[in-house]
């Protein structure tokens, strides 16, 4: 496939899911240190550095895109589905701060990253949900509501439950807990909306099937967060069970998801798998040897998936199939028959 003349135009905020996946895997390998020793620590460090490098490259490229293609950014912000991926940017800051704290302890740079990510994430969440308050949404403005509800809606939710992972250690336990409460409240709301969306408009498009795995992320991160906040370990096990269900549920569409051409939404599988692996490894510290084996298998699975995604991304950048017009950008967002905005 030939390279597009203006590749930066197609650098959507969803690309920051790569940073999320790498950070998540770094944290998972860090959790494996009690079982694997220094090798796991070294792997965590390499992944953390790689995540930081990718974040810097994407940040610079995104600034250039904003300057050169402001209309493309405006289209992302107004798109019924793509707008929620903006939350991947502040989540990346929060996760980078978490990785830095896990590897090197509390520091001023980590606190700055965490504060910037936390405030930005709160702002993005308010902005995403304020779209629902538009007058006559789905009617006079012609914007169909339910087809725009996909598992990607969980991204802002995940962003609000991430802060305790580093916030407690960095000295911001109160605000970390408060923001965690926002995510805890929005999680069942997003689940309900997703269920209604399936009933009203059917499943999300095939090109977005990889985003189904995003449903694993909220319970996985919540399980890690409640432990950081000092909750009983049984609550983390509750979250682990919910995450296990959503992992099994998402796995039913895995074959269909990966049977199509690779695209950036495939990275939606990375962070949820890594986060669930991290939670499993954390719980395995006080569990039986059999559960520790399960934890190691999940870590290996997450590592293989993310390595495959990285290789596919490099290949896609080289052959021009990425940073090009993406089918997801041209979703048929027609409403269900009889719903305002149907066409």
204: DSSP letter: P
State the pTM of this model.
Answer: 0.91
- CA 79 to CA 275: how far, in whole Å? 28
Using one digit for the tens of pLDDT, what is the confidence trace for 230-247?
999 999 999 999 999 999
Q: What is the pLDDT, as a whole number, of residue 325?
A: 76
105-141 residue pLDDT tens: 999 999 999 999 999 999 999 999 888 776 655 544 4
pLDDT, residue 334, reads 41
- Given a cut of 70, is residue 40 above it in pLDDT? yes
Quote the CATH superfamily of domain 7-330. Answer: Voltage-dependent anion channel (1.50.10.150)
186 and 180 in contact (C-beta within 8 Å)?
A: no
Mean pLDDT of 184-191: 94
Is residue 343 over pLDDT 50?
A: no
pLDDT at 193 > cutoff 70: yes
On the CB side of 100, CA atoms within 13 Å amount to 19
Is the Cα torsion angle 157, 161, 162, 163 positive or negative in sign? Answer: positive
pLDDT for position 286: 86
Segments of the chain assigned E as strands: none
Contacts of 139 (CB under 8 A, 6+ apart): 340, 341
pLDDT in tens, 275-334: 999 999 999 998 888 999 999 999 999 999 999 999 999 999 999 889 877 654 334 444
**4: pLDDT confidence band, cut at 50, 70 and 90?**
low
User: Residues 6 or more apart from 198 whose CB is under 8 A from it?
Assistant: none
Domain boundaries, the chain: 7-330
Task: For 184-216, give one letter per residue: b (16+ CB within 10 A) or e.
Answer: bebbeebbebbeebeeebeebbebbbbbbbbbb
Describe the crossing of helices 38-68 and 88-104 by its angle, rounded to 10 degrees: 150
User: How sure is the predictor about 341, in pLDDT bands with cuts at 50, 70 and 90?
Assistant: very low
């Amino acid at each position: 496939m030939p390279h597009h003349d203006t590749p930066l135009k197609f650098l959507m905020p969803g690309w920051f899911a790569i940073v999320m996946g790498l950070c998540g895997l770094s944290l998972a390998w860090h959790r494996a240190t009690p079982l694997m020793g220094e090798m796991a620590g070294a792997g965590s460090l390499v992944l953390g550095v790689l995540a930081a490098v990718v974040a810097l490259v994407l940040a610079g490229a995104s600034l250039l895109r904003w300057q050169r293609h402001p209309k493309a950014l405006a289209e992302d912000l107004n798109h019924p589905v793509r707008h929620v991926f903006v939350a991947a940017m502040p989540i990346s800051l929060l996760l980078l701060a978490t990785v830095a704290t896990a590897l090197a302890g509390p520091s001023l740079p980590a606190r700055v990253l965490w504060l910037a990510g936390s405030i930005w994430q709160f702002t993005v969440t308010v902005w995403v949900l304020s779209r629902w308050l538009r007058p006559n949404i789905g009617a006079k403005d012609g914007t169909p509501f339910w087809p725009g509800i996909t598992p990607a809606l969980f991204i802002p939710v995940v962003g609000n439950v991430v802060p305790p992972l580093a916030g407690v250690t960095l000295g911001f336990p109160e605000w970390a807990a408060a923001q965690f409460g926002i995510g805890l409240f929005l999680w069942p709301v997003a689940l309900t909306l997703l269920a209604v969306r399936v009933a009203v408009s059917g499943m999300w498009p095939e090109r977005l099937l990889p985003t189904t795995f995003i449903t694993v992320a909220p319970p996985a991160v919540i399980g890690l967060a409640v432990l950081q906040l000092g909750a009983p370990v049984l609550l983390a096990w509750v979250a682990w069970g919910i995450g296990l269900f959503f992992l099994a549920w998402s796995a039913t569409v895995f074959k269909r998801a990966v049977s199509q051409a690779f695209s950036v939404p495939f990275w939606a599988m990375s962070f949820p798998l890594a986060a669930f692996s991290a939670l499993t490894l954390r719980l395995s510290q006080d569990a039986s040897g059999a559960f520790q084996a399960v934890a190691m298998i999940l870590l290996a699975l997450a590592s293989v998936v993310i390595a495959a995604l990285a290789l596919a991304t490099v290949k896609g950048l080289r052959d021009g199939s990425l940073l090009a017009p993406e089918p997801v950008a041209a979703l048929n967002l027609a409403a269900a028959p009889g719903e305002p905005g149907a066409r």
